[in-house]
Amino acid sequence: MRNLIGSSIKDLENVALNYGQAAYRGRQIYNWIYNYKNKKKNIDQIEVLPLDFRKKLKDDGFMISELSLQEKNLANDGTLKLLLSTGDNESIESVGIPTEKRLTACLSSQIGCPMDCKFCATGKEGLKRSLKASEILDQILFIENEMNRKVTNIVFMGMGEPLLNIDDLLLSIRSINEDFQISQRKITVSTVAVPKMINKLSEKSFQILGNCQFTLAISLHASNQITREAIIPSAKNYDINNIVKDCKKFVRDTGRRVSFEYLMLSGVNDQLEHADELSNLLKGFQCHVNLIQYNQIDEVEFKRVSLKNLQLFQSRLSMNGIAVSLRKSRGLDKNAACGQLRQNARSK
């Protein structure tokens, strides 16, 4: 079967021509797929196409969407969390995060995750497989359809480690940019950090995309190697100083600032001496720290930091000359932490 999501106008024009149709029929398919106002995403529901053409496409295995909606949860703040089923009966999570002026789609890149971060529900069941580019893009369509708005921003912060699915990641970014008309500058790729893959990301971005304008966000979560290994077991393969060294090279190669995600865990990484240590680690290059309040889950022992301690930590970083902001938690009343919805569904 061939999924048409991610196809360019030229690709779809060629599909139409191969079936003896005029090229404009391909453009009609293209406009149907990427217009969020079109709720019907099945081949046989593209009403602007002749019925016999639709039937031939469907009979020959063409499709638009291969995911299906399994469950959805809407939080009081408007955050929508979707549990989507794949063609091989696995499930992934996607989240739509609205504000007045934008709609951010938080996308998964894998089914499960191999990184086993101790604070994350996704890693509890390990990695099943990586997602195809079409499955990544399909998540955007579901969020737009359910929320009746066009997605304006993309964050790869859902299930999985994006850099372990780098080819399909970049193919999806190309389509997000060219077909969904979302600027690379509104796309963020979040990674725990995998040895050699930060350099590979920038190299392959120039090869596949022609440039590298998206934001790289490193899930650092610690100010030293010992603490990082305690909460991220895979960190033993990649020293924290080498991560920063590779990030500095990424900034030089791309001209883009790197963000460091820092999940505040009470009694683990939230002391002022940690703030000073983090400042010394990151000083001297173009970067930014996002402090994150923990979405607590039952399966792990970590606790949420008080707002007062978080603000003290933020103030110390700022005083030390580090650009820092506090990311507001969303969807706390609806199992918003990554992996929770999937895990709850599997336990039913």
Would you state the structure tokens that stand for residue 141, as one six-digit string?
């369509």
Beta strands in 178-310 (DSSP E): 187-191, 215-219, 258-264, 287-293
Sign for the pseudo-dihedral over CA of 133, 139, 141, 144: negative
In degrees to the nearest 10, what's the CA dihedral of 271, 276, 281, 283? 140
Of 113, 117, 247, 338, the catalytic one is 338
Does the active-site annotation cover 93? yes
Order of strands, sheet of 80-85, starting from the edge strand that comes earlier in the sequence: 68-74, 80-85, 91-98, 103-106, 153-156, 187-191, 215-219, 258-264, 287-293, 324-327
The contacts of residue 250 (CB under 8 Å, 6+ apart) are 198, 199, 201, 202, 216, 256, 258
Q: Check if the beta carbon of residue 4 is closer than 8 Å to that of residue 28.
A: no
Of 93, 135, 161, 261, the catalytic one is 93
Tokens 């970590």 appear where?
302
CA distance 214 to 152: 14
Q: Check if the beta carbon of residue 117 is closer than 8 Å to that of residue 231.
A: yes
Catalytic residues: 93, 338
